[in-house]
Structure 1
Amino acid sequence: MKKPSLFVVMGVSGCGKSTIGKLLASTYGLPFFDGDDYHPHENVDKMSKGIPLEDSDRKDWLQRLNILAKEYREKGAVIACSALKKAYRDQIADALTPQMEFIYLKGTKDEILRRLEERKGHFMPAGLLDSQFQTLEVPLDAITVSIEKSPDEIVLEIIKKLPLKKP
């Protein structure tokens, strides 16, 4: 079985996907891509107005992330993406299993709400957190780590759980 070379750091908005993804990518010498950068303008506009995305809004975005992952299947990459539903994860990983590993950053609603309220300059308002948790289908086949530790400690925990040679 081929070891994963593509990693998707996932979870609800505000859980630390970008921070952890960048650290993990740096640790392994892989490129990092923030899934938010691949949303069409219409999605960003909708979320900025406090309107939750629907499955149909996410379809093209998830296809873009799958294409990106396919481009990096040999070199490897870390992608930060909410990947809230199993169907979304399946779409991102299409034709890439077993090369892709999902890493779920798990936190409580209160903890993540506090983070969102402190965050500046992001299009995703704290008011959409409830819809994120309602949409979330907790992955059963992902590496799951709590967000209660420091970013460095979280990355160390991920590394211990990854089926890869340690950096």
Structure 2
Amino acid sequence: MTVVVMMGVSGVGKTTVGRRLAEALGCGYAEGDSYHPAANVEKMRTGTPLEDADRWPWLHAMAADIDRWRAEGKGMVLACSALKRAYRGILIGDRQDVRLVQLTGEEALIRSRIAARKHEYMPASLLISQLATLEPPAADERPIVVDVRDAPETCVAQILGALEEVRPS
């Protein structure tokens, strides 16, 4: 089974597409936000961007679960911003059975989605810092890049097609 890390800025659809992808794959789903310690949540709630020092324990907790899922042979989809290459290095590294999916879209579309939703602690103002932090994945990270202007079902179909292309026959 494969572990898929859904990455992207807030509002791009990681949860929506990730849950539907997990359902299509017949596997579990995990929300990266649930791994944040209370101090991180409070920072974000007040509109303060997280720093790398805030993120390292969060990333290592998710990486530990990724390794556990892999050891158990459990397929999972994990939604996590994973904005920097260094963060993805912790989550994916040289784990060939962990795939990266980057959800991307026009800033105006993402802003409109954020404005239309209610998030427990992620204010729209943090999108600016997330876009500034974002390091798009390089080819050697083997990303599946999906533009979210399409419906979630279309995004899932694109991801499934890309995953199928790399599975051994």
TM-score bucket of the superposed structures, by smaller chain: over 0.9
Correspondences of 1:86-105 after superposition (within 5 Å): 86-94=85-93, 97-105=95-103
TM-score (norm 2): 0.92
1:164 is matched with which residue? 167
Higher helix share: 2
Q: How many residues align?
A: 162
For residues 9 and 122 of structure 1, what CA distance do their matches in structure 2 show?
A: 20
For residues 119 and 15 of structure 2, what CA distance do their matches in structure 1 show?
A: 14
2:64 is matched with which residue? 67
Q: Indicate the SS of the match to 2:44.
A: helix
For residues 28 and 79 of structure 2, what CA distance do their matches in structure 1 show?
A: 11
1:56-77 superposed Cα distances (whole Å, 9 cap, x missing partner): 0000000000011111112121
For residues 131 and 7 of structure 1, what CA distance do their matches in structure 2 show?
A: 25
Across the aligned residues of Structure 1 and Structure 2, the Cα RMSD in angstroms comes to 1.5
Correspondences of 1:19-98 after superposition (within 5 Å): 19-73=16-70, 74-94=73-93, 97-98=95-96
Shift of 1:121: 3.6
- Paired residue type of 2:156: V
Unaligned runs of 5+ in 1: none
1:7 is matched with which residue? 4
1:119-160 superposed Cα distances (whole Å, 9 cap, x missing partner): 114310000101000000001231000000000010001111
